[in-house]
A and B are shown apart, each in its own frame.
Chain A
Amino acid sequence: KNEVEQSPQNLTAQEGEFITINCSYSVGISALHWLQQHPGGGIVSLFMLSSGKKKHGRLIATINIQEKHSSLHITASHPRDSAVYICAPGGGGADGLTFGKGTHLIIQP
């Protein structure tokens, strides 16, 4: 079973700050997903990474497969970024995705 650790669990920051959320996992994988869940409950897939780095707008995700670690960065954070961010390592095995407990992010204006 893949043990997934996210840090921090909770993060409150001021608008404009650079945000980093970390995810470590215990079992080698072929891909990792970053998800965003808003207070209303809906889940949006932000990234699927198998190597290196991806960028979408103000969001950047990186992964180091050898070190079993991924990070999600938010540049120029905005109150609308307030949400729970969840990492989910996986890769098509019989066990599906495993999920971190999530990082609760609040961006204050």
Chain B
Amino acid sequence: DSGVTQTPKHLITATGQRVTLRCSPRSGDLSVYWYQQSLDQGLQFLIQYYNGEERAKGNILERFSAQQFPDLHSELNLSSLELGDSALYFCASSVGSRGTDTQYFGPGTRLTVL
């Protein structure tokens, strides 16, 4: 158990809908990272927050947004969903903001868009 929690575990929805994925980091960790893993693209970095502020941005679509709250939990919002958004979404947390910090991964949320 990494100490990182993600909810929900599974999510099935329809095209055009909007969903919110939630992540709680390990106690004491200030950084939260979001990743997408699909069959064709593999793992991709989406976005990083550190202590409430956006720190780094990767291949995140404009239809997706994220935020980190004062209690350090983070939410990833996916809107106008398309079939291609079906994937595993992982969050990870680390103590600091640098890529040289060990990241602890949550169990993932499996999103299926029908």
Stretch at the interface among A11-19, A61-69, A96-104: A96-104
B88 touches which of A41, A45, A92, A96 (Cβ 8 Å): A41
Q: Which residues of A contact B (CB under 8 A)?
A: 29-31, 33, 35, 41-45, 48, 50, 86, 88, 90-102
B105 adjacent to A45 (CB under 8 Å): yes
Q: How far apart sit A42 and B106, CA to CA, in the bound complex (Å)?
A: 7
With A41-B88, A44-B2, A102-B42 known to touch, is A93 a contact of B105 (CB < 8 Å)? no
A92 adjacent to B57 (CB under 8 Å): no
Q: How far apart sit A88 and B56, CA to CA, in the bound complex (Å)?
A: 16
- The B interface, classified by DSSP as helix, strand, loop or mixed, is strand
Residue of B nearest to A98 (CB): B45
Stretch at the interface among B63-71, B73-81, B92-100: B92-100
Q: Which residues of B contact A (CB under 8 A)?
A: 2, 33, 42-45, 47-48, 56-58, 88, 90, 92, 97-105, 107-108, 110
B56 adjacent to A95 (CB under 8 Å): yes
A-B contact pairs, 16 of them (CB 8 A): A41-B88, A41-B110, A42-B105, A42-B108, A43-B90, A43-B108, A44-B2, A45-B102, A45-B104, A91-B100, A93-B99, A94-B56, A94-B57, A95-B56, A96-B56, A98-B45
Residues of B contacting A50 with CB < 8 Å?
100
B42 adjacent to A99 (CB under 8 Å): yes
Residue of B nearest to A99 (CB): B43
Max chain A Cβ within 10 angstroms of own Cβ: one of B2, B56, B97: B56
